[in-house]
Amino acid sequence: MTQPNTSSQANQFLLYCRSTLLFSAVLAVTAVFALLMLIAAIIPPFSWQYKLGSTWGKVVIWLAKVICGLDYQVTGLENLPKDQSAIVLCKHQSAWETIFLMAILPPSSILLKKSLLWIPFWGWAMATLKPIAIDRSTPKQALSQLLKQGAQRLQEGFWVVMFPEGTRIAPGEQRKFSASGSLLAQRTGFPVVPIAHNAGEFWSRNSFIKYPGVIQVRIGSPIEVTGRKSKEINRQAEAWINETMQDIEATK
């Protein structure tokens, strides 16, 4: 994992202080927005509470830029369909991309572990945004739930966001993609939008410190699914993401 040169103790201390400040700021902002979203959950329309969630994401991304010098650059925004919902299959390296996707995408339903909804404030707020919360200890039931609720969400006008690797993967590593997202696409006819990024190089899954830099986010063209098998759809999405990750690494 390539990161800025922070060998000196002074730089490490500064990074730690900035990361601590960011953590404190995000904690405070999350508590406020979570309470607002819980209140909004009992006041229609739903768009109000999702707008609060999206605004929370934008605020956190902004805080990361101002406090830690962590910015981002997006290529391919024009590839996001404007006239229909889609299924997003995104590289998973850190918590950053889950926040980012909430900030830039239309109203979306994210696939996540049910246990995450018990996290104070953040989990409670997420529970109001119609996620697809599954129990991974029961794979068959989880897949059935995804296919049923995913189809419902798409028909209701939501996007469905999934991380096909299933868990956060360290930069430079790959994990076989689950075919559940492509199976949902095959059954519903909604396109797949692949997304690659290198957020894990700056916002690591196992590190408290957030490093300054520019995260590269690349959004691929929608993958047509009509008349195609789920394995073929999944193979194309996986190949595009893996190739794009190599390209991001090569152009740093």
| pLDDT score of 137 more than 70 | yes
Domains of the chain, residue spans: 9-250
Tell the residue number behind the tokens 């830039």, with chain if given: 104
Q: Are 198 and 3 in contact (CB under 8 A)?
A: no
- What does the pLDDT read at residue 6? 45
Q: What is the mean pLDDT of the chain?
A: 94
Give the pair of three-digit tokens for residue 96. 């950053």
Query: Tell me, what's the pLDDT at 125?
Result: 93
Question: In this structure, which amino acid lies at residue 73?
Answer: Q
Is this model's pTM higher than 0.85 or not? yes
Cα angle for residues 169, 172, 177 (degrees, 5° grid): 50
Cis preceding linkage at 45, omega within 30: yes
CATH topology classification for 9-250 = Glycerol-3-phosphate (1)-acyltransferase (3.40.1130)
Angle at 75 between CA 228 and CA 203, to 5 degrees: 100
Rounded to whole angstroms, how far apart are CA atoms 223 and 233?
A: 7
Q: What is the pLDDT of residues 162-221, one digit of tens each?
A: 999 989 999 988 899 999 999 999 999 999 999 999 999 999 988 899 999 999 999 999
pLDDT at 101 (0 to 100): 97
The model's pLDDT over 32-75, given as tens digits with 9 standing for 90+, comes to 999 999 999 888 888 888 999 999 999 999 999 999 999 999 99
pLDDT of 4 above 70: no
Asked if residue 2 has pLDDT above 70, the reply is no
